[in-house]
């Protein structure tokens, strides 16, 4: 009887490297390791990582290049939405998980596999993102989560297991960080970072540099061009999304842009201290917001802000393929029709500041905004507008004044000395009069 096949979401890191051996031993399944490229910064080259999976025991090791799809269909949607969970985290890992899940399901269907496995812990968000996405795409597949089941309860125990079976891993007990990354940025946790009162050591960062260092670069001015809500050029040089994001990381990283240290609320109810570095994406979001300020009508912009938070929550919570998220996608796409123009930014010592903005669809009118002689605003019209605009609050205030006046009168009557003996009869026919 032939063994079943399990498709493993493989990264070459500690958890998924150990997962290969553990699944073979405990489930008696053949493992196909599947590494989906979404712009990761690899300590080791992809060929070595793929070969390592075979060395550990996988029957096949696949590398799937999904960088273009990731940039054009996932990062692009997030940028149009200004996606930031809790208004800080630009959804680094949350964006890649549904795409990785989609590719895993495709491979499972091609290979006739009944199982898909991931290396997520039982108290993280990624388990939800993988499993929700896989269930949405193919509910017949059985999902395995070895890290939730095994007795390797610490990263140190996993490292011991790896050493015992000769599994090559990129982590060490001196540098035990858990890192996930893609072209959007890096997410770092574990080790000393688990104490929210400890400043992150400089060695957790790799794509940004300390903005306080003495040799930090001088101010740099860059211009980002957008068409229909998406970036198309840096300093006038046109490029596709993948190239643009990678180049922007290289430009903004040395300035220390995009370092995030936050305590976030995980989906499962735990607060978690997370470190992120997302230089290019945070720069793009800053520029995109500035362009929307210039081109979106007021009510549309205000309503979009409320849906941005809901969209970010849904994506963070693994609901990429949900009906609500897909409906919000359609709304967001419609809002971007006229989000076209150029944004000029100053990069300096960790700060990314908008210093200029232009658009052929700008709703900014100098004649209406200025206070100089070019002023075209009808100031006399403001008087009638204010009378109507303030009418509801004026009526409310008048009614409240009458109520307070009556309350003061009733209070005075209750406190006046009685000219009769014995209990008085109040307005409600009750003894005492003040009830």
Contact (Cβ atoms closer than 8 angstroms) between residue 324 and residue 93: no
Task: Lowest mean pLDDT of 136-145, 247-256, 406-415, name the range.
Answer: 406-415
User: How far is 122 from 128, CA to CA, in rounded Å?
Assistant: 9
Residues whose CB is less than 8 angstroms from the CB of residue 354 and which lie 6 or more positions away in sequence, other chains included: 286, 287, 290, 343, 344, 345
Return d(Cα 168, Cα 18) in angstroms, integer.
Answer: 9
pLDDT of residue 427: 47
Q: Is the pLDDT of residue 136 over 70?
A: yes
**Residue matched to tokens 């605009």:** 389
Distance CA 171, CA 189 (A): 13
pLDDT at 153 over 90: no
pTM: 0.90
Cβ contact 96:83 at 8 Å: no
- pLDDT range class, residue 420, cuts 50, 70, 90: low
8 Å CB contact between 340 and 363:
no
| E-strand stretches of 337-413 | 341-348, 351-358
pLDDT attached to residue 44: 58
**What is the CATH number that goes with domain 5-181?**
3.40.50.620
Three-class SS of 197-238: CCCCCHHHCCCCCCCCCCCCCCCEEEEEEEECCEEEEECCEE
State residue 435's pLDDT score.
55
Quick one: tokens of 243?
A: 């190239």
Q: What is the pLDDT of residue 426?
A: 46
Q: What is the pLDDT of residues 22-64, one digit of tens each?
A: 999 999 999 999 999 999 876 558 888 999 999 999 999 999 9
Instruction: Please count the CA atoms within 13 angstroms of the CA of 211 that sit on its side-chain side.
Output: 16
Is 428 a residue whose pLDDT tops 50? no
Quick one: pLDDT band at residue 124, thresholds 50, 70, 90? confident
Contact 31/183 with Cβ under 8 angstroms? no
Nearest CA to 16 among 49, 46, 44?
49
Residues 6 or more apart whose CB falls under 8 angstroms from that of 298 comprise none
Whether 185 contacts 92, CB under 8 Å? yes
Q: Residue 413: which pLDDT band, with cuts at 50, 70 and 90?
A: confident
Report d(CA 346, CA 18) in Å as an integer.
45
Tokens matching residue 152: 């390797």
Spatial CA neighbour of 18 closest among 164, 129, 133, 131:
164
Q: What is the pLDDT of residue 434?
A: 59
What is the mean predicted confidence (pLDDT) over 58-85? 97
Domain boundaries, the chain: 5-181
Is the pLDDT at 431 greater than 50? The verdict is: no
Give me the mean pLDDT over the 359-378 stretch: 92
Pairing of strands 60-65, 30-37: parallel
**Could you give the residue ranges of the DSSP H alpha helices within 267-297?**
279-295
Exposure string over 278-317, b if 16+ CB within 10 A, otherwise e: bbbbbbbbbbbebbbebbbeeeeeeebeeebbebbebbbb
**Residues 217-235: what's their mean pLDDT?**
98
Provide the pLDDT for residue 430: 46
- Residue positions annotated with a catalytic role: 15, 97, 126, 178
More confident residue, 162 or 20: 20
Whether residue 351 has pLDDT greater than 90:
yes
Check residue 164 and give its pLDDT.
Answer: 85
């Amino acid at each position: 009887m032939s063994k079943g096949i399990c498709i493993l979401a493989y990264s070459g890191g500690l958890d998924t490297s150990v997962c290969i051996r553990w699944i073979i031993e405990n489930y008696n399944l053949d493992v196909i390791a599947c590494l989906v490229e979404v712009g990761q910064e690899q300590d080791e080259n992809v060929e070595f990582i793929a070969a390592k999976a075979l060395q550990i025991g996988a029957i096949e090791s696949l590398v799937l290049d999904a960088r273009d799809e990731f940039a054009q269909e996932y990062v692009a949607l997030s940028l149009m939405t200004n996606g930031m969970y809790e208004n800080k985290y630009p959804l680094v890992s949350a964006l890649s998980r549904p795409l990785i899940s989609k590719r895993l399901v495709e491979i499972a269907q091609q290979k006739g596999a009944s199982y898909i496995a991931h290396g997520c812990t039982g108290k993280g968000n990624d388990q939800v993102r993988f499993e929700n996405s896989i269930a949405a795409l193919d509910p017949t597949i059985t999902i395995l989560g070895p890290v939730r089941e095994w007795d390797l309860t610490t990263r140190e125990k996993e490292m011991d297991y790896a050493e015992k079976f000769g599994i090559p891993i990129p982590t060490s007990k001196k540098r035990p960080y858990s890192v996930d990354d893609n072209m959007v940025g890096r997410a770092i946790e574990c080790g000393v970072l688990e104490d929210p009162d400890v400043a992150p050591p400089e060695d957790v960062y790799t794509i940004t540099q300390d903005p306080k260092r003495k040799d930090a670069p001088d101010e740099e001015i860059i211009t980002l061009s957008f068409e229909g809500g998406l970036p198309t050029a840096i300093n006038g040089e046109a490029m596709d999304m993948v190239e643009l994001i990678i180049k922007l990381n290289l430009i903004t990283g040395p300035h220390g842009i995009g370092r995030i240290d936050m305590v976030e609320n995980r989906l499962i109810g735990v607060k978690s201290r997370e470190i992120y570095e997302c230089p290019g994406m945070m720069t793009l979001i800053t520029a995109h917001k500035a362009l929307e300020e210039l081109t979106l009508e007021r009510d549309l912009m205000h309503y979009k802000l409320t849906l941005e938070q809901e969209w970010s929550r849904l994506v963070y919570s693994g609901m990429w393929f949900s009906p609500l998220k897909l409906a919000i996608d359609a709304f967001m796409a419609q809002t971007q029709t006229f989000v076209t123009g150029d944004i000029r930014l100053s990069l300096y010592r960790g700060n990314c500041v908008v210093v200029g903005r232009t658009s052929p669809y700008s709703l900014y009118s100098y004649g209406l905004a200025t206070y100089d002689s070019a002023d075209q605003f009808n100031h006399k019209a403001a008087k009638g507008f204010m009378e109507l605009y303030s009418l509801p609050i004026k009526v409310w205030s008048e009614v409240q004044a009458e109520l307070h006046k009556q309350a003061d009168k009733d209070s005075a009557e209750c406190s006046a000395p009685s000219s009769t003996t014995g209990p008085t009869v109040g307005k409600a026919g009750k003894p005492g009069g003040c009830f």
